Amino acid sequence: MADFKRKDKNNDAYKRLVSDLKAGTLAPLYALYGEERYLLENVLGRMRATVAKGTEEFNYKRLEGKSLTMEGLQEAVDAMPVFSDRVFVEVQDYDMSRLTEEARADLIRILSDIPEYTTVAFVFPGDDMKLDGRAKSSAQLKNLFTQVDFNQQESGDLIKWVMKHAKDVGKTIDRPTADHLIFVTDGLMTTMTGEIEKLGAYCTGEAITKADIDAIVTPTLEADLWGLLDAIADGNIRLAAEKMNGMLENNESASGIIYTISQRLRQLASTRAMLDSGATMQEIQSALGVKDYPAKKLVGAARKLSLKLWRRDLRASLDAAYKLNSNYRREKEILAELIARLGA
């Protein structure tokens, strides 16, 4: 059997799993989780397909975590393949945070002895296995799994994916426009799949344009906030007020907007300070822990004002947050005062 790594950084584990699927060299046990459910479901479908077509009734076992018993899991793991080289066992939504010591010991016993023709995948709903770290046997259990975190993909991979899926709906999209779509959404393939389908139906021309995206794609709070901050930095207070009102009409809370403005202004002040000290884009990206496109947005916006002015605006936002903590009933008024103060 191949020598499988148990935990890789970033997207390495995902890429390793895709490579192993192609080679037919799957590990015996996986933990699959993460925010990018599109990729997770895609890979899970390919794992199910490792059993011979037409034999799924015998060789594919799906177990629901809420009703899972150790006896049922043992039976599924011990099943012999029928007219197939492989057996695939899928366990959905099993809550490992509430395992008793006895149940944890049973799991370790069962999962330590998976037959070489069987692959077991536990699929978790969140972004972790949620094991109780206080239990001594948790580390032993966790180390049995090859963990794959389906997190948001890097900008370059996402752009290629957007361009491919635009082609699937009969349209083209260039790299800057694909970048813009990633930015105004949450950057998850699950979200963008639906948006690309809408754009394919909406666009009359061959190419999807930025204007098309702005016309029908509902931006995230993050994207709206950038529009607001850009308007403030450009001295266009009327547009900033329109952006603020639009966010409120989209049911964003005034308190949420204020806190997000504070976070972003902190990043802008830090970015400006790093630019003034000669930092490169890569260094800024690494220091702030942001991806390509947000880093470009931060650098572009940070250059519009001096460090002194960004720090002034940051203090104003922190003052607004303090007022908000004292009087939530005035949150919309406090937000409007902040926007006016930022543009002064």
Q: What is the pLDDT of residue 11?
A: 65
Distance from C-alpha of 179 to C-alpha of 254, rounded to nearest angstrom? 28
pLDDT 10s digits, 54-64: 999 999 999 99
**Residue 317: its pLDDT value, please?**
93
**Structure-block tokens of residue 256:** 């949420």
Span 249-262, average pLDDT: 88
| 33 beta partners | 149
When mean pLDDT is compared across 46-55, 101-110, 248-257, the lowest value belongs to 248-257
CA-nearest of 286, 166, 298 to 230 is 298
Would you place residue 134 in the very low, low, confident or very high pLDDT band (cuts 50, 70, 90)? Answer: confident
Where do the H-state alpha helices sit in the chain? 12-23, 37-48, 56-59, 70-78, 101-111, 136-142, 155-168, 175-184, 189-202, 210-216, 221-233, 237-249, 254-276, 281-288, 292-302, 307-326, 331-342
pLDDT given for residue 5 in this prediction: 33
- Contact between 328 and 258 (Cβ < 8 Å): no
Segment of 53-67, 118-132, 180-194, 237-251 carrying the highest mean pLDDT? 53-67
pLDDT-derived band at 219 (thresholds 50, 70, 90) equals confident
Q: What is the pTM of this model?
A: 0.75
HSE at residue 327, side-chain half, CA atoms within 13 A, is 8
Structural domains for the chain? 12-149 (3.40.50.300), 155-216 (1.10.8.60), 221-342 (1.20.272.10)
pLDDT in tens, 265-315: 999 999 999 999 999 998 998 899 887 777 888 899 899 999 999 999 999
What sign does the dihedral 191-95-113-61 (CA atoms) show?
negative
Per-residue CA distances from 285 to 217, 236, 259, 294, 302 (Å): 27, 28, 22, 9, 13
Q: Quote the CA–CA distance of 88 and 32 in Å, as a whole number.
A: 14
